Amino acid sequence: MGTKREPTARQMRLAVELRRLREAAGLSARESAALLGVNSVQISQIESGVSGVSEQRLRRLAAHYACTDEVLVNALAMMATDRTRGWWEEYRGLLPTSFLDLSELEHHATHRWDVDFLHVPGLLQVEDYSRAVFSCRVPELPESELELRVRHRMQRRAVIEEAQPIPYEALVHEAALRIKVGGRATSRAQLARILELSEADHVTVRVIPFALEAFADITADMVYAGGVVPRLDTVVRDGPHGALFIDSEAQLGVFRTLFRRVEAVSLAPERSRDFIHRLAKEL
Per-residue confidence (pLDDT) for residue 71, from 0 to 100: 96
Per-residue confidence (pLDDT) for residue 215, from 0 to 100: 65
Q: Compute CA distances 134 → 116, 124, 172, 175, 233, whole Å.
A: 16, 15, 19, 18, 28
Per-residue confidence (pLDDT) for residue 138, from 0 to 100: 82
Q: Would you say 100 and 89 are in contact if contact means Cβ atoms under 8 Å apart? A: yes
Per-residue confidence (pLDDT) for residue 218, from 0 to 100: 63
Q: Compute CA distances 110 → 6, 74, 226, 229, 259, whole Å.
A: 25, 15, 5, 9, 17
pTM of the model: 0.92
Superfamily classification of domain 9-81: lambda repressor-like DNA-binding domains (1.10.260.40)
As a whole number of angstroms, the distance between CA 25 and CA 23 comes to 5
Per-residue confidence (pLDDT) for residue 146, from 0 to 100: 97
Q: Nearest 10 degrees: CA dihedral of 248, 249, 255, 258?
A: -150
Domain residue extents for the chain: 9-81, 92-282
Per-residue confidence (pLDDT) for residue 213, from 0 to 100: 73
Residues pairing with 224 in the sheet:
113, 235
* Closest to 121 (Cα-Cα) out of 166, 157, 162: 157
Per-residue confidence (pLDDT) for residue 137, from 0 to 100: 86
* Closest to 255 (Cα-Cα) out of 234, 227, 228: 234
Q: Are strands 203-208 and 242-246 parallel, antiparallel or unpaired?
A: unpaired
Provide the CATH topology of domain 92-282: Endonuclease; Chain A (3.30.870)
As a whole number of angstroms, the distance between CA 20 and CA 107 comes to 24
One digit per residue, pLDDT tens: the chain, 283 residues?
444 458 899 999 999 999 999 999 999 999 999 988 899 999 999 999 999 999 999 999 999 999 999 999 999 999 999 888 899 999 999 999 999 999 999 999 999 999 999 999 999 999 999 999 999 988 899 999 999 999 999 999 999 999 899 999 999 999 999 999 999 999 999 999 999 999 999 999 999 999 887 666 666 789 999 999 999 999 999 865 568 999 999 999 999 999 999 999 999 999 999 999 999 999 8
